Structure 1
Amino acid sequence: MASVKQRADGSWRARYRDAADTEHARHFATRRAAQAWLDEVTSSMVTGRWVDPIASSITLQQYYDDWSTRQIWASGTVTAMNLAMRTCTFGELELNRLSRSHIEGWIKAMSVQGLAPGTIKTRVNNVRGVIRAAVRDRRLPEDPSAGVKLPRVRKIDSAMRIPTPAEVAALLDAAPSWFAPYIALCAFAGLRLGEASALQSGDIDFLRRKIHVRRQVQRVAAREVSITAPKYGSERAIDAPDELLAMLTEHLRTTTPLGAARWLFDGQYGEPPHQNTVGYWWRLAKRDANVEGIRLHDLRHFYASGLIASGLDVVTVQRSLGHARATTTLNTYSHLWPTAEERTRSAASELMRSVLASSPATATGL
């Protein structure tokens, strides 16, 4: 039920009741303005875009503080979401005042600060997740962040730095004997930093020649680490080369105490190493090897490129890397697979060589 009536003071009172039979009212100087507001409310109800004005009067930060307590997140996700909200410039703005211009202004400010396009994209997507949750909760009629333009991210094939075999060899030679196996696990098994750090002696199955990825290390504070399950879809058993297993055998013999539950690599206070510690070891190894411009994660790219160059299919590479979906593997490494033209040319070349090899004229040199 809705109505527009004039009050004793000459103003016009527009009112309506929502589906919960709660009355909402506003006062206007003219009947036309009151009716226009009422028509807009009626239209939003009919189209399903209506939201309770009281529910949408809280700030984005207040909504996040309540909504985030109900989410099932890994500790890394909690840290990333909190960081995005903390740097968001409109967190204290009421939801019903949030507009596209606020998101665009935040993106521009981060670009001026010199943040990498990938970092900006991650933060915007995290905050966008909060805004979309508010839409689903009927706190907002629509997502004001939809369609906003983000800084251009470099193509993966242009940004990716794949170490050469000579560079990997130099790193292995220069690294201390206790750190070389860590580098080898990243380069020849494709482990992420957190996965390599979380390996225990019992994760190496020498009989079946497999390395089991069952957990990862995440840094919680300067001196604290958290042991969590691997990234979604990343728990896996990797087929390990004999040379890597031999290196790990020697590492276990000389540096790691007995016991299947002991960490393969030691950090501080009896815990496995976290990213800061491994980063320090990695920088020293690069310095001693005189190798620059390579991240530890690039060794994972080195491993993937080797699998692809050997002709392995997408699904096999996906499982070896622990990607949740094959599309992730393709999006990251599609430029490394031979194109259709290259495969066609190679197949035709092989076909021609087989024919020429059996030709009497070719065989006699005529």
Structure 2
Amino acid sequence: MPIYKMTDKSGKNIKKDGLQKYRVRINYTDALGKQHQLDRVTYGAEAAKQLEMQLIHSVKIEQPAQRMSVGQLYSEYLTAKKHEVRESTLEKTQTILSQHVVPILSDIKLDKLNIPVLENWKRNIEDKGLSIRMRKNIYGEFRAMLNYAVKMEYIQTNPLLKVGNFKAPMELHKEMLFYTPEEFHKFITAAREYCEKSEANGSLYDWNYYVFFCTAFYMGMRKGEIYALQWTDIKGDNISITKSISQKLKGEDRVTPPKNHSSVRTIEIPEPLIEVLNKHRERCMRLDGFRESQYICGGERPIRDTTVQHMNEKFSSAAAVKRIRIHDFRHSHASLLANEGINIQEVARRLGHSNVEITLKTYAHLYPRESERAIGVLNGVKL
């Protein structure tokens, strides 16, 4: 269901009153299996998007909803969703549905999505040997797509709800990995020594990775949020987190808003990290062309995902500590605060969680001292 810019014979864009001319085309199959195409033109990008949605709605009217296939619903759903979510979120949805739903159910009509068909789909997913977390992600994306079909009145109810989510009663919960302060000290010491050797050989660039890991541990930020940090985001002893960068999309880096509304936040910088940032800024200012708008970790362009992973392995190996994922540095931050009895609301604020329930669900088991305090209070009540 594409939108095309229209050009003249010389290849020059056609415009009217300063607005680009667009052709909007919708392909669909009617209830008898016959192919159709709706083709309209309009001026302006926003008008083209609105026209596209109007044509999709007209297809809904012309085509009996119960004869729509899962594959057709998938195409329409992605078109509608792309105007509502971040590009990285859309890519995740597209990847999951195109790999785990469409290949199995593409030609199935919506009115044929009964319990036997969906149970068979679940068995297909089970046979792939995926983790329970991944299976539940697949179920969630499929459920959301069918909820869209209900909203559009293509079907009356979501049949996937009757089947239920994937369950793994015998699968043990994986232990959360994180660095203790002692382990992080060993890791970051190895990182600093590596960067000092690089600087002695004439390169300052590796300090970007040292600063990245310091920021991840002391601030608990998501890696995309760290990539997007610019020197202008530091105001005194605070960092303002207002954007994120995704490197996994096709093409160039994408600067997007953070994960949710609560992820836009201003948080205080601990003194050790202030010292790290000040020294890093001094190093960067020694380079030609320094500007405040440059990225803190990288300069003109943020450091790369793959190299961050490589440095993580290198530093953990040199420090003789376990290797954790990049996201586990965020867990390390939260775990440290939780074990020191910091209020769960403050942990949630620093992490940028949308609600405290998310923080509790993830980190409640890291509050052992709270249970000790509770039993101490009860022990003090004498009979």
Decide: shared fold, TM above 0.5. yes
Equivalent residue number for residue 234 of structure 1: 263
Q: Which runs of 5+ in 1 are unaligned?
A: 1-50, 353-366
**Aligned counterparts, 1:350-361, within 5 A:** none
Shift of 1:76: 1.3
C-alpha distance after superposition, 1:208-227 (max 9, x if no partner): x1121111111244663111
Q: Is 1:253 aligned to 2:282, yes or no?
A: yes
Q: State percent identity of aligned pairs.
A: 25
| Letter matched to residue 226 of structure 1 | R
Partner of 1:164: 180
Q: Say whether the 8 Å CA contact 2:139–2:165 is kept in structure 1.
A: no
**Contact 1:85–1:91 (CA under 8 A) maintained in structure 2:** no
Relative to 1, partners in 2 of residues 1:162 and 1:351: Cα closer, same or farther, differing over 3 Å?
Answer: farther
Other-structure match for 2:240: 212
Give aligned pairs, total: 298
Alignment match, 2:189: 173
Provide the residue aligned with 2:65 in structure 1.
Answer: 55
CA distance in structure 1 between the partners assigned to 2:185 and 2:370 by the alignment? 33
Distance 1:54 1:203, change over 3 A: same
8 Å Cα contact 2:341/2:369 also seen in 1: no
Tell me if structure 2 keeps the 8 A contact 1:53–1:96.
no
C-alpha spacing 1:262/1:350, structure 2 compared with 1 (3 Å) = farther
Q: CA 1:165/1:341 → structure 2, altered by over 3 Å: closer, same or farther?
A: closer
User: Is residue 2:325 matched to residue 1:315?
Assistant: no
Per-residue deviation, 1:62: 0.9
Instruction: Tell me the SS of whatever aligns to 1:248.
Output: helix
Which of these residues, 79, 87, 104, is aligned with residue 91 of structure 2? 79
Q: Is 1:262 equivalent to 2:278 in the alignment?
A: no
Q: Provide closer, same or farther for how the CA distance between residues 250 and 218 of structure 1 changes in structure 2, counting only shifts above 3 A.
A: same
Q: Distance in 2 between matches of 1:351 and 1:125?
A: 48
Q: What's the CA shift for 1:348?
A: 6.2
Aligned in 2, Cα 1:337/1:160: closer, same or farther, shift over 3 Å?
same
Corresponding residue number in structure 2 for 1:363: none
Give, in whole Å, the separation in 2 of the partners of 1:293 and 1:282.
7
| CA spacing shift, 1:347–1:126, aligned 2, 3 Å | same
How many angstroms apart in 1 are the aligned matches of 2:338 and 2:272?
20
Which one is further off, 258-267 or 226-235?
A: 258-267
Contact kept in structure 1, 2:219 and 2:269, CA below 8 Å: yes
* Deviates further, 64-73 or 125-134: 64-73
CA separation of 1:84 and 1:280: change in aligned 2, threshold 3 A:
same
Q: Compare CA radii of gyration and give the structure with the larger one.
A: 1
> How many Å separate the matches in 2 of 1:341 and 1:242?
30
Match of 1:125 in 2: 140
Q: CA deviation digits over 1:119-140, x for unaligned, max 9?
A: 1111210111011111222211
Aligned pair in 2 of structure 1 residues 318, 341: CA closer, same or farther (>3 Å)?
Answer: closer
Distance 1:282 1:106, change over 3 A: farther
Deviation at 1:336, TM superposition (A): 1.5
TM-score (norm 1): 0.74
User: Structure 1 pair 165/91, CA: closer, same or farther in 2 (3 Å)?
Assistant: same
Question: Using a 3 Å threshold, how does the CA distance of structure 1 residues 253 and 326 change in structure 2: closer, same or farther?
Answer: same
How far off its partner does 1:101 sit? 3.1
Aligned equivalents of 2:302, 2:116: Cα separation in 1: 45
Q: Mark the CA change 1:264 to 1:339 in structure 2 (over 3 Å): closer, same or farther.
A: closer
SS at match of 1:238: strand
Cα distance in structure 2, aligned partners of 1:219 and 1:210: 26
